[in-house]
């Protein structure tokens, strides 16, 4: 069993942060990002069970969550990490309420 002090772990964490800065290619700009839960990842993977080998899905990010679209235009809501409450005939639907 290997036991290390917290200072050694903290030092390694700092090294990891430094390494990630070095690895990121220059000129790369993050255009979009989305948080995924395991359920969302499983939803995305389930789409591939209905596609032919080699087909791709397009992942689309919206203010309501993540969608995946097949080459035939079939859309599946993958999910959202935020809960959206709808009231007043949907007028407040764009206001996220994080739990």
Nearest Cα to 70, choosing from 79, 78, 62?
78
Q: For residue 64, what pLDDT is reported?
A: 82
User: What is the model's pTM?
Assistant: 0.55
Which residue pairs from 37-43 have beta carbons closer than 8 angstroms and sit at least 24 positions apart in sequence?
37/79, 37/81, 39/79, 40/66, 40/78, 40/79, 40/81, 43/68, 43/76, 43/77, 43/78, 43/79
Highest mean pLDDT: which of 1-5, 73-77, 80-84, 89-93? 73-77
Q: Is the pLDDT of residue 95 over 70?
A: no
Q: pLDDT of 11-39, one tens digit each? A: 455 565 666 666 767 787 878 888 889 99
Nearest Cα to 97, choosing from 73, 81, 76, 75?
81
Q: CB within 8 A of 50, min separation 6: which ones?
A: 70
């Amino acid at each position: 069993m290997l036991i290390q002090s917290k200072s050694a772990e903290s030092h390694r964490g700092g090294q990891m942060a430094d390494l990630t800065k070095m690895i990121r290619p220059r000129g790369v700009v993050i255009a979009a990002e989305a948080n995924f839960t395991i359920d969302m990842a499983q939803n995305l993977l389930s789409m591939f069970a209905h596609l032919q080998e080699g087909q791709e899905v397009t992942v689309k990010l919206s203010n309501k969550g993540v969608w995946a679209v097949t080459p035939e235009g079939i859309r599946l809501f993958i999910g959202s990490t935020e809960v959206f409450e709808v009231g007043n005939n949907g007028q407040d639907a764009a206001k996220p309420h994080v739990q």
